[in-house]
Chain A
Amino acid sequence: MANDFRLPPKPNRTRKRVRNIIIALVLAVIYFWAFSGVIKKIDWSFFGEMGEKFGKVIPRLFDPAWEEFEKVFDLILETIFIAYGGTLIAAVLAVPFGFWAARNMVKSPIWNTLGKWFLILDRTFPELILAILFVISVGPGAFAGMLTIGLTAFGMLGKLYAEVIESIDMKVVEAMEANGANKIQILFYAIFPQVLPEFLSFALYRFEIDIRASTVLGLVGAGGIGTLIVITAANRNWEQLGLIIISIVVVVMIIDFISSKIRKRLV
């Protein structure tokens, strides 16, 4: 009996090791490709001028042009409005799509998967692509930006909503069904009370993201402060750029703070 004592056999690691080596090789190839490509393209001459440029730009960035405050503030306000309107469109639009993509609300699995795919498709669209399409079709301006934000945000919101709906307590729904409630009553008295706080909290979270996203839209003429950022930098008006940086950081921080406070109370 005493001789029977053996250590448990060592697990066969060769497969895992081979897999790790393959992963490492692939990564090495990708990195070699990326870094060699990038290093070739970087124009290293900027190192020589760096000291001079830093001396020119940085002090002026820290000396914001307060006299332009009104102009900057107006555009930031427009940015916030774009984000707000867009998020609201998305938050409303995402409700039906959230129900469509929720496993426990749609009986047919094929139909349900279709809904999920639709939301994935929407999420893959980079917002600048949609912004370009909207600027071309409805004309430049904040309205194009709002539509862009609305259509890009609803993919993510729809997915989050669907996850919330999938996690509700179905016993309440069954109890109401057993009592003879119709679909509308079930929706309003069994499902909405369970999901609304989280819907709102996700919409607020998305609003925080959209504030940042809508600063970019100006690049293609879809309104907001992006246009001013590009023009200011092109004119080398570093004092005004400094003001824009400060205002954006402050506004984003305030909005993030308020929204996270509300979200904490909601959930």
Chain B
Amino acid sequence: MKLPNKNKTSENESKIYSVYPKKVKFQISIIFAIVLFWYFYSLRATDADFLELFGDLDVVFGKLIEMFPPDWSYIESAIDPLIETIQIAVVASTFAILICIPMSLLSANTIVKNKFIYQTFRNIMNLLRTMPDILLATIFVSLFGVGIFPGILALTVFSLGLLAKLLSETIETIDTRQLEAIRSTGGNIIQVIWYGVVPQVLPSFISYGLYVFELNVRASLVLGFVGAGGIGSIIDTQLNFMQYQKVMAVLVLLLVAVIIIETLSNMLRRRVV
């Protein structure tokens, strides 16, 4: 064994060591610089000015105070669109849940062994998910005209991509030995799915379904702005008339509805999962 070089150790002791290696530090600083640069660039590109925002806080709050007190008498005429919104969300989520079952089974590699088939379905799902809800709503409104039918279609397609992805990922993580056991006793594909897959994914499936329903209630706010029915349309009208107190009343109503729906669905989810 070599004796430690006395001279060298004393030299090392005088240096303060960092837990991070030099290379990592360098990389992190560069990434940090890029992030900050893009941030300031995007601030400039969007005309953002925080100093002005904080300087003019009284103006900002003055504008907000215009929305108070909310015009509660307007709520009566907002109830009907709200009900329509919830109905659209229920119907769209139902369709999405029904269609996503075959789609997610076909795109899960534990069920379908053919690589070509599951890759195709995966790509379709990914394509569906790139479309923001507003784009889908606009397309369907331009195809079917103004009304709630395009709204239902838009929400169905929008939630289908998300739901099918979540479900197929869950199906891919299930215990495949159970499927093999059923197959080896002579079960056909329907029996494998019904007795092998369904019991394993049902709790998460219900939870995803509820989640998509919540998402749809929020997203249906967007629909009204492009003429696809729901509560968004009256908000749009009142915004254009600058009736901010009426807008505020509708917003409060919507917020209360969203909170109630999320509380209910959370309660359900906790009992299921």
State whether A46 touches B60 (Cβ < 8 A). no
Residue on B with the closest CB to A139? B63
Please give, as numbers and ranges, the residues of chain A lying within 8 Å of B66 by CB-CB distance: 136
Interchain Cβ contacts under 8 Å between A and B, 23 examples: A34-B90, A34-B91, A37-B83, A37-B87, A38-B87, A43-B149, A80-B42, A81-B46, A85-B43, A124-B255, A124-B258, A132-B247, A132-B251, A136-B244, A142-B47, A143-B48, A193-B19, A212-B133, A219-B225, A229-B138, A233-B138, A245-B135, A253-B130
State whether A126 touches B221 (Cβ < 8 A). yes
Given A132-B235, A132-B251, A249-B130: A238 touches B142 (CB 8 Å cut-off): yes
State whether B142 touches A133 (Cβ < 8 A). no
**Which of A58, A78, A136, A215 counts the most chain B CB atoms within 10 A?**
A136
State whether A42 touches B148 (Cβ < 8 A). yes
A179 within 8 A of B: no
State whether B222 touches A219 (Cβ < 8 A). yes
Minimum CB–CB distance for A234 against chain B, Å: 9
Minimum CB–CB distance for A88 against chain B, Å: 5
Minimum CB–CB distance for A16 against chain B, Å: 13
Minimum CB–CB distance for A25 against chain B, Å: 15
Given A42-B148, A82-B46: A128 touches B221 (CB 8 Å cut-off): yes
A241 within 8 A of B: yes
Minimum CB–CB distance for B257 against chain A, Å: 10
Given A42-B148, A126-B221, A219-B226: A249 touches B247 (CB 8 Å cut-off): no
Residue on B with the closest CB to A85? B42
Give the dominant DSSP class at B's interface.
Answer: helix
The 8 Å CB contact of A50, one of B90, B132, B138, B144, is B144
Please give, as numbers and ranges, the residues of chain A lying within 8 Å of B182 by CB-CB distance: none
Please give, as numbers and ranges, the residues of chain B lying within 8 Å of A111 by CB-CB distance: none
Bound state CA distance, A33 and B88, in angstroms? 11
Please give, as numbers and ranges, the residues of chain B lying within 8 Å of A230 by CB-CB distance: 138, 225-226
Please give, as numbers and ranges, the residues of chain A lying within 8 Å of B87 by CB-CB distance: 33-35, 37-38
Residue on A with the closest CB to B61? A137
Please give, as numbers and ranges, the residues of chain A lying within 8 Å of B143 by CB-CB distance: 50, 53-54, 57-58
B72 within 8 A of A: no
Q: A142-B48, A223-B46, A249-B127 are in contact. List 14 more A-B contacts (CB 8 A).
A: A41-B84, A41-B147, A49-B145, A78-B46, A81-B45, A88-B39, A124-B255, A132-B247, A146-B46, A193-B20, A220-B239, A233-B226, A244-B135, A245-B139
Q: Which of B31-70 contact A (CB under 8 A)?
A: 35, 38-39, 41-43, 45-49, 53, 60-61, 63-64, 66-67
State whether A143 touches B47 (Cβ < 8 A). yes
The 8 Å CB contact of A132, one of B61, B239, B259, is B239
State whether A42 touches B46 (Cβ < 8 A). no
Residue on A with the closest CB to B89? A34
Q: Which of B222-264 contact A (CB under 8 A)?
A: 222, 225-226, 229, 232, 235-236, 239, 244, 247, 251, 254-255, 258-259, 262
Given A34-B91, A88-B35, A128-B221: A248 touches B131 (CB 8 Å cut-off): yes
Minimum CB–CB distance for A176 against chain B, Å: 11
Bound state CA distance, A146 and B20, in angstroms? 34
The 8 Å CB contact of B262, one of A80, A124, A220, is A124
B94 within 8 A of A: yes
Minimum CB–CB distance for A210 against chain B, Å: 11
Bound state CA distance, A189 and B20, in angstroms? 9
B86 within 8 A of A: yes
B164 within 8 A of A: no
Please give, as numbers and ranges, the residues of chain B lying within 8 Å of A57 by CB-CB distance: 142-143
B166 within 8 A of A: no
The 8 Å CB contact of B39, one of A34, A84, A128, A145, is A84
A141 within 8 A of B: yes
A216 within 8 A of B: yes
Please give, as numbers and ranges, the residues of chain A lying within 8 Å of B35 by CB-CB distance: 88
Bound state CA distance, A145 and B47, in angstroms? 11
State whether B42 touches A81 (Cβ < 8 A). yes
Please give, as numbers and ranges, the residues of chain B lying within 8 Å of A229 by CB-CB distance: 134-135, 138
State whether B84 touches A126 (Cβ < 8 A). no
State whether B60 touches A137 (Cβ < 8 A). yes
A138 within 8 A of B: yes
Please give, as numbers and ranges, the residues of chain B lying within 8 Å of A129 by CB-CB distance: 221, 251, 254-255
State whether A215 touches B134 (Cβ < 8 A). yes
Q: Which of A228-253 contact B (CB under 8 A)?
A: 229-230, 233, 236, 238, 241, 244-245, 248-249, 252-253
